[in-house]
Structure formats: structure tokens, C-alpha cells
Structure 1
Amino acid sequence: MSNLAPPSSDAQIAQTLLEARRSGQVANADAVVIADAAQAYRVQAAVSEAMGWFADGPARHWKSGGPGREAVLTHAPLPPAGVWASPADARAWPFHWRGIEAEIALRLGQPVDRDHAGRLDQDSARALVDAMTVSIELVDSRWAQALDAPGWHKLCDLQSHGALVLGEWVPWRARDWATQTCELRIGGHEQVFTGTHSLGDPSWLLPQWLRHATRDGAVLPAGTVVTTGTWCGLPLAQAGDEVVVRFPGVGEASVQL
């Protein structure tokens, strides 16, 4: 006989996260059991509905990515209140902690529905993108265990999303991503990364993301944005740090914490 606890209900998991968001206090991940990715995505939707984030239509900002092309990618819609143009000031934003992901964000140039998404390959998906920009995702968690929480817990918590900063948009064009450098400065500490995107090409995830985002019949409008995964791992910043990310040839973004 298995000693594993049965999965918690969608409602119980969603309520735990809602209480954490509304109270500003982290929840104990051990208090709920999440069965699989399907349940985590249902909880994402339940929390989003209860918070009223997308009452006016589909999410306009998403995060998507994974550790490699052989992995199942994960996706999360992002609350609009935490999306800011660079240079951003996040000093008044409530964080439990401040992980930094330096990324490239892509923008759709036309609407995409479920039928269209189902027919996409890499080339036809890339043709839907009209612009790109440098983005900084500020990673946070509603779980006390933070990055040590189980994977499905992080997924139902919008994949540990805190806030998103977007730089100036420039026209999308193919680049040699293997030689692309990413310059990161957190406070006084600077690092440079070259060709370190986990998928090799930030646009590689587009077909999977678009099929996921339209799976329930939603039509993504032109202008929908997806940020595509970190180039720098997940270094931690502190309150008071200025974070600056620069991708030569693309642009830069900054946020004051």
C-alpha cells in the first residue's frame, strides 16, 4: 500500500495561493499535494480568475521555457500589474526574494487562434513575431520553500513569477544566438554570458507556447508578449540593487530594487 498522500483539490491549492497573495505571507508547500502539470495549470487558471487578472481578455504577457529541448516546456500567464517598461522602479513592490533572469522577450505581430497554433512549425511560428526586446524577470515565490518547492508547486504559482521589466522594442530578426552575449550587472557585480540560452534559440519554444496558450479556445491578440527563459541562471539580488541587463545588438533593460 502506498504511503503517498492523495492530491489536494484544485480549490484547496488555489485557496492556499490566494491567501498567500492577499496576506503577503508565504505558504507551506507541504500543506498541499499537487498531482501533475494538468492540475498545476488548472490552479493557475483558478487563481487568475479569482484575482481578476484577465477579466478583459486573454493574458497579454506570458513566460515560457525549460531546461532543454528534450524537456517538456512550462508556461504561465503573467498578471498585468507587474509588467513595467524599463527603466523600472520596483522599490515599492512586495517581494519575498528577488531572483534575476535576463531574457529575450518576443511579441506577436498578428492574432493566433487554436487552429492556427496547431499547424505551426518553427519557421511559421517565427514568422508571427514582429519585435523583440530585452527583459528582466524578477523571480519570487508564494511558497516558503521558494526554489526548493516541488516543481508542480512552482508551476501553479506562475512558475515563481514576481514581475517583468521590458526594454525598448526592436524589429525581430534572426541572430546567431550561439554567439550572442548577455551582460548582467546586479549592484556592483558584473557578469557576461555567451550563448547560454537553454533552448539554443529563444524562438524555439514558440509553437509549444502558442498551442498551450490557445488550447482552451482563447485567441491571442497581436501584441501578446512571451519572455523566453534565462541566459544567466538565477542569481539573487537585494533590496537597493540596480539591475541592468544588456544584449548587444538587441538592447537593454534596467530596474531599481
Structure 2
Amino acid sequence: MNPSQPSQTALTDALVAARRGNRTLDASPWTDTLATGAQAYEVQDAVAAALGWFDGQPVPGTWKSGGGSRTATLTHAPLPPAGVRQSPADFGDLSFNAPGIEAEVALRLGQDVTPAQAAKLDHDNAASLVDAMTVSVEIVDSRWQDLAATPALLRLADSQVHGALLLGEWKPYAAVDWASQRCEAKVGDADTVVREGTHPLADPAWLLPIWLRHLTRHGQTVPAGTVVTTGSWVGILPCRRGDQVTVEFPGIGGVRLSV
């Protein structure tokens, strides 16, 4: 890093101040601060520690993970507990800058996963670790003013632009024909968005080995009950404060929330 460039510590401080002050940042001064994903994750962790999100918990209980395709580098972020709620829920007490809605499926681990176990996982056997699934909705929100122009590493440092998460009723995990799975999402007065088989990884469980190796990379065991939401079937749908949102995955469940 050039000595004239802002440091990771300065970036952490700026993101903490933005969250505490419910305001956004211009990304341009920070563009060259991060060179690697590892540095972005260090900022993630430092912001969470400064805000006291996890109170020293070795592995946070709820995560987001995913990517645009199986050939993309998947990214991960632990989610602050205060923003994780059960359906139906009202998020009117939280502050958002420019929120959007992602319709997803979340998975829950049914057993502890050690670093040694995570190292041996593959995409064919990892789903055996999951005991339950549910419909989830992420409210995506950013501390960056112009998200489209913000580098990917700065988005990752900002908890992969997370705002809040809604979880539905858990049901036992079972094999699903994901290619024909429907998703129906309605935001406010907009038309219902209907998609079929549009998970970016084709199967939400595909990310499990990569996600679990990330969580165990420093030697921690991931406890049973840890939850991951796995990527949007509808992209990001714009929403406004006060909008009523409903999402249904027929055969899995449905949720509703107020932004």
C-alpha cells in the first residue's frame, strides 16, 4: 500500500462511524485501500468487534454467503443479531440508506463442523450436514453512496452490503428439484416477480464446503444451529420505507415483512 493511501484501520473507523451515524461514504478515497479478500474480511471482523455485534462469540450464528455463479469467488459475511428476525416482522425501527430485497433460501447446520471435517467436504456430501431449511429475505443496504461504482472488496468489507435478515418457519431439509423450484416475491405495489430455477449456484447447498472452510480457517469449530442464507433468486428488488414484502417458495414456505 502506498503510504498516502488510507489504512485498513482508517477504513474500519469510517465504516463504524457510518453505521453509528446512519450515513453513507464516498468510496473514491478508499478505492485502493484493500488489495485482497483476506484484508476485506479483516475489516469485516474489526467493524463487528467495534460495534459489539457478537460479544466474543467464536463463530457468529447467522451468515450470508454466495456468488454470481459457480465460477465466481464466493463471499461471506456474519450478520448482526439485532437485524435477524422471524417472520412476520417489522423493520421500521432500523435505519436503511437505499434498501433492496433479496429472496433466498436459508440452511441450518444439524451438527458441529470441525476444521478437519470442513477440509474434507465436497459439493456432493456437504448437504448431509444440514437439518433444516427456510425461506429468507435479506434487506440489502450499503454504507457506500454509489454502490454500483464501489469496488467489490469495499462491498465485502461492508458486510457484503447487508442490512437485515428475515427468516421463515424451519422445515426439515430434503432434496429439492431446484431447477424447477418457483420463487414469488412482491414488494409494495409492484407486480409480483416470479422466477423458476434461478438460484445463481443452481443449488443453495453447493456453497456449503466453501462457506464452512471460510468459517473454520482460523481453527474454530462451527456449532450446530449455525444458519446461512444462500443467494438471491430475484436479484435485488428495490423497496421503500413502509413497503410490505411477501416472498413464497412453494413447497418450502413463505414470509412477510414491513421495511
Residue type at the aligned position of 2:178: W
Q: 1:81 to 1:31 in 2, by over 3 A?
A: same
Aligned match of 2:252: 250
**1:225 equivalenced with 2:223 (yes/no):** no
Give how far 1:188 is off: 2.4
What root-mean-square deviation, in Å, do the aligned CA atoms of Structure 1 and Structure 2 show? 1.3
Name the stretch that deviates more: 32-41 or 171-180: 32-41
Give how far 1:223 is off: 0.5
TM-score (norm 1): 0.95
Aligned match of 1:236: 238
Q: Distance in 1 between matches of 2:37 and 2:104?
A: 24
Q: Distance in 1 between matches of 2:21 and 2:199?
A: 35
Residue type at the aligned position of 1:254: R
Aligned match of 1:88: 89
Q: Secondary structure at the match of 1:127?
A: helix
Aligned match of 1:116: 117
Task: State the identity %.
Answer: 52
Aligned match of 1:201: 203
Give how far 1:219 is off: 1.6
Is the 8 Å Cα contact of residues 8 and 34 (structure 1) preserved in structure 2?
no
Residue type at the aligned position of 1:87: P
After superposition, what is the alpha-carbon deviation per residue over 1:179-233, rounded to whole angstroms, capped at 9, x for unaligned?
0000001112211000111000000000000000111122211110000000001
Give how far 1:64 is off: 0.4
Q: Distance in 2 between matches of 1:177 and 1:71?
A: 20
Q: 1:224 to 1:237 in 2, by over 3 A?
A: same
Q: Distance in 2 between matches of 1:90 and 1:147?
A: 25
Q: Distance in 1 between matches of 2:5 and 2:111?
A: 40
Is the 8 Å Cα contact of residues 198 and 229 (structure 1) preserved in structure 2?
yes
Number of residue pairs aligned between Structure 1 and Structure 2: 254
Q: Distance in 1 between matches of 2:220 and 2:21?
A: 31
Give how far 1:123 is off: 2.9
Aligned match of 2:12: 14
Residue type at the aligned position of 2:247: V
Is the 8 Å Cα contact of residues 102 and 232 (structure 1) preserved in structure 2?
yes
Aligned match of 2:42: 42
1:1-257 residue pairs with structure 2 within 5 A? 8-32=6-30, 33-57=33-57, 58-189=59-190, 190-257=192-259
Name the stretch that deviates more: 132-141 or 234-243: 234-243
Segments of structure 2 that go 5 or more residues without pairing to the other structure are none
Segments of structure 1 that go 5 or more residues without pairing to the other structure are none
4+ residue segments displaced more than 2 Å: 4-8
TM-score (norm 2): 0.95
Q: Secondary structure at the match of 1:48?
A: helix
